[in-house]
Amino acid sequence: MKQTQKTDDTEMLTDIYKNCKMGVESTAKLMPKVQNADMKRVMGEHLKQYQGFAARAADLLAKQGKAPEDAGFFEKLPAEVGMAVSQMMDSSDAKTAEMMINGFVMGVSELKKQLADTPDVNEHTAALAADMIQFQLNAINDMKQYL
């Protein structure tokens, strides 16, 4: 494996891991405020899927001899502040669904851009990214019903 490919793989896996961990944290913070039991159940399923993707990314990183890195405080801060302000202004299930959708859309956009910019990642990294994109697209559809 070329050194550049390993760096690209490591960066993409690290980004996927961070995205998943932020998804876990955001979902866990929003779930207690959700009134609709079905929506809460769906969010719980999304939470488990995020955890599974994070574990896959961590496993692939470990195979490269790397440890996964969580997003730092300043990486998380804009999302934390945005969620808090949005929840203060409108804590409805529809607003929560909108925030979740926005997070999924950002995740899809970032991963698609990264795949386009680094086409030489290994097949396992590319497969994880494709699975993550499909999960997020499905999750967008899941949340649309609660708008």
Q: Please state the rounded mean pLDDT for residues 114-137.
A: 94
* Domain residue ranges in the chain: 3-144
Beta carbons of 18 and 69 less than 8 angstroms apart: yes
Q: Please state the rounded mean pLDDT for residues 62-71.
A: 82
Q: Cα–Cα distance between 72 and 11 in angstroms, integer?
A: 15
pLDDT in the model for residue 53:
97
1 pLDDT higher than 90: no
77 pLDDT higher than 70: no
Q: Cα–Cα distance between 64 and 60 in angstroms, integer?
A: 7
List the one residue out of 144, 113, 135, 137 whose CA is nearest residue 53.
135
Q: Please state the rounded mean pLDDT for residues 13-36.
A: 91
Beta carbons of 146 and 101 less than 8 angstroms apart: no
Beta carbons of 46 and 34 less than 8 angstroms apart: no
pLDDT in the model for residue 76:
46
Which range (61-70, 86-95, 108-117, 135-144) has the least confidence?
86-95
Chosen CATH of 3-144 out of 1.10.287.3510, 3.30.530.20, 1.20.1260.10, 3.40.50.300: 1.20.1260.10
**Which pLDDT band holds residue 141 (cuts at 50, 70, 90)?**
very high
DSSP 92: S
List the one residue out of 92, 91, 106, 90 whose CA is nearest residue 139.
106
**Whole-Å CA distances, 147 to 16, 69, 98:** 27, 33, 7
**Which pLDDT band holds residue 87 (cuts at 50, 70, 90)?**
low
